[in-house]
Amino acid sequence: MAGHDALRPLPRAFHEDVRARLRKRADGAGVDGLLLLGAGNVTYATGWHFSVVERPIGLWLPVDGDALLLVPLLEQEYAAAVPGVGVRTYEEFPGERPPVLWMIEETGARRLAIDALDAALLDDARARLDHLALADHARLERVVKHAAELELVREAARFADLVLERLRDVGGDIVRQGGTEADLLADCTGHARALLAETHGEAFQGTKTGITASVHSGPRAALPHGAVTTRRPRPGEPVVAGIGCHLGGYHAESGATLVTGEIRPEQLRIMEAMASAGAATIDALERGLSCARVNEAALGALRAAGLGHAIRHRIGHGMGVEGHEAPWLAPGDETRASPGMVFSCEPGVYRPGVDGWRTIDTLLVGGAGVELASRFQTRHPLETRILSC
């Protein structure tokens, strides 16, 4: 692996290769080209990390001809700086003519594939074309990551781990001094963000790079998507921390549940069941099972421990240029696990009014097995996940 400070954003050649592969898919599908409207797909094919707002941004990839970014006038200069693509602009949103219909006309295509389309525009879009295919060809390319992408995911996971390391190291002192969930969050993310900026800030300017996190304690830990508050964790309570890190536009996650003070036997039993769910996830991925069956195997470990009533969500999801992307380790996704895929593994036990527990690992599926890009749980056995208060 390259040195941490030698990492750089994906090069122009990477995105040129992506566009070549997408053109080949378009040709094989019998269309004139692909109109990409999904923000993650546009970024994947161009390397442009733009703000996602109501003004649509599209990328036209013809089988033959120049690639074009189709953007609001507001973004003209940013789009012009993207190498290897042309730029055309529309005035404003919503406009007298919907921008997406303008994009379709700008392509000049008669047979077109679009990755995502507002249903309200479907009839008008079809009226402008001989053939319209609603097909996300970019997603099929994104599910398997290349070596350069995996390097960014590994490094993002390292910084997500640093947030947890800081929380374990100083969280007990903060709580003992009357600190709140918000205080814990501010300290551990501030520490990791400073290190991220020091290590990669200059090289990764202009890319999506940063850290997001949440900290919930006690009964509030059963509501993981809630706001972080000024609640003070109490002795014997779980403190759930979920961390996301982007580096160069690539996402990884780490998460753990720590206990303030001594871990009680029932709490340890829950933590052991969650570890078993994580091990079952890895085993199922290494066997190349479908994503749906991976999810069944993992959640089965929680059910076997008598915790089926406390399951609220799937075991995980894909990650890459978006924090949540296909494939999904969930019912209904029959994609088979294969080398190059990146997943979160998130066993969760939620008992509203009582407590909540969750861990998160970033898993890289390889030819020789599954690599844990997240290392916090490996470094810290269950009985050491304590905030000493």
171: domain CATH number is 3.90.230.10
Query: What pLDDT, on the 0 to 100 scale, is given for residue 7?
Result: 95
Region 261-289: what's the mean pLDDT? 97
| Band of residue 110 on the pLDDT scale cut at 50, 70, 90 | very high
- Assess whether 57 and 182 both reside in one domain: no
- Give 389's pLDDT tier (boundaries 50, 70, 90): confident
**What's the one-letter identity of residue 300?**
G
Confidence of residue 4 (pLDDT cuts 50, 70, 90): low
Q: What integer pLDDT is reported at residue 201 of this predicted model?
A: 94
Q: What is the CATH number of the domain that holds 91?
A: 3.40.350.10
- Does residue 141 carry a pLDDT above 50? yes
Q: Which helix (H) or strand (E) holds 87?
A: strand 86-90
pLDDT digits (tens, 9 = 90+) for 205-219: 999 999 999 999 999
How does pLDDT run across 45-66, given as a tens digit for each residue?
A: 999 999 999 999 999 999 999 9
Do the beta carbons of residue 107 and residue 302 sit within 8 Å?
Answer: no
Q: Could you tell me if 177 and 131 lie in one domain?
A: no
Strand order in the sheet with 325-329: 325-329, 316-318, 342-345, 361-366, 369-372
Rg, C-alpha atoms of the chain: 23
Please check whether residues 51 and 159 belong to one and the same domain.
no
pLDDT at 3 over 60: no
pLDDT of residue 2: 45
| Statement to judge: residues 134 and 153 lie in one domain | no
Which residues span the domain enclosing 175?
147-387
pLDDT at 1 over 60: no
Query: Quick one: 239 and 267 in the same domain?
Result: yes
What is residue 12's predicted lDDT score, i.e. its pLDDT? 97
Share of the chain above pLDDT 70, in %: 99
**119, 8: one domain:** yes
5 — pLDDT class (breaks 50, 70, 90) = low
- pLDDT of amino acid 372: 98
| Beta pairing, strands 250-260 & 386-387 | parallel
Same domain, 83 and 154: no
Last residue of a domain, one of 89, 107, 142: 142
Q: Domain boundary at 120, 142, 164, which?
A: 142
Q: Are strands 238-247 and 86-90 parallel, antiparallel or unpaired?
A: unpaired
Tell which of 113, 142, 171 closes a domain. Answer: 142
Angle 230-233-237 from CA coordinates, rounded to 5°:
145
**Is 85 in the same domain as 227?**
no
- Over range 317-340, report the average pLDDT: 98
Provide the domain count of the chain: 2
181-201 pLDDT, tens digit each: 999 999 999 999 999 999 999
360 pLDDT above the threshold of 60: yes
Tell me the angle at which helices 181-200 and 147-176 cross, rounded to the nearest 10 degrees: 140
